[in-house]
Amino acid sequence: MKTRGRLSVSHLVSDNDLTPADVALILKTAVAMKKAHRAGRDKPVLRGKVLGMIFQKSSTRTRVSFEVAMLHLGGSALYLSANDLQLGRGETIADTARVLSRYVDGIMARTYAHSDVEALARFGSVPVINGLTDLLHPCQILADLLTIHERRGLLKGRRLAYVGDGNNVAHSLMIGCAKAGMQCVIGAPRGYHPRPEILVQAEEAAAKTGGSVEVVVDPREAAEGADVLYTDVWASMGQEKEHEARKKILAPYQLNAALVARARKDCLVMHCLPAHRGEEITDEVVDGTHSVVWDQAENRLHAQKAVLALLMGGDVPLS
């Protein structure tokens, strides 16, 4: 069986770009591609195609997973550091997008400013994928939804509780869960809540799918009865000077055994990595029986293969 391999959009810049049907198609494609890979039957649907990868931020999972994804799909990936490109300095982002579009078949960018990825999509003529910005992390959340689907089946109605800083991962979780018809609760201290405009986007999406989005201050309230508990680092890249202050404020939001006890007995524990063990999550929890952290990390590969194939390819095999 094959699908025509087309999303409703030409780029993946924001989680909000995707319709619920797009999310479902990506997950269905990722499941099929993961199964095919494990059986040694990868389909080279991107044979001869090149992905240009722009990195302003260092990376382990993003760089390796995208490079391996392109290899599995029959294409290749070109690593481009911000120093190599002088992105937004010696040459405008618009001109960079125009030039790269003449060389490569797709662009993945991991930047600080979300507007940089938006500009690449606006001025380029090839698909652009957001590998992470300070505002959003859509590829991570697609991997997370894939992981939950593998473990629990139907996503609709599941309750995911995120505790900690209302950062880019929290933003994407809110929108991504809403698109899947899930209940998403963010537990964060005042001053660290998600951005209001992202909350509005998530609420609008949830209203169409039967999901819900809520922001609370008490982490225990957020965790109560959750199917999934999720956290992330307290100081993201570029916030290193705030680390000590953030540790004090966010300490009550640590994902530990006491918080896990408030969730469902079969809850899943998630972290997008890298983890600062002993800070936002304890060793006991990240290495415990509830943890699916390593499945999440692996599923970055499979979810991104699906995104790459659907945006850059033609017919994508689903069986």
Active site residues: 110, 137, 140, 232, 272, 300
CA distance linking residue 163 with residue 193, whole number of Å: 10
Strand-pair category, 2-3 with 316-317: antiparallel
CA distance linking residue 106 with residue 100, whole number of Å: 9
Q: Tell me which amino acid residue 128 is.
A: V
**Strands annotated E in the chain:** 2-3, 50-55, 76-81, 106-110, 128-132, 159-163, 183-187, 212-216, 228-231, 268-271, 316-317
On whether the CB atoms of residues 181 and 157 are closer than 8 A, the answer is yes
What is the residue whose two structure tokens read 């260092």? 58
Angle, CA of 39, 25 and 185, to the nearest 5°? 110
CA distance linking residue 156 with residue 204, whole number of Å: 16
CA distance linking residue 24 with residue 46, whole number of Å: 21
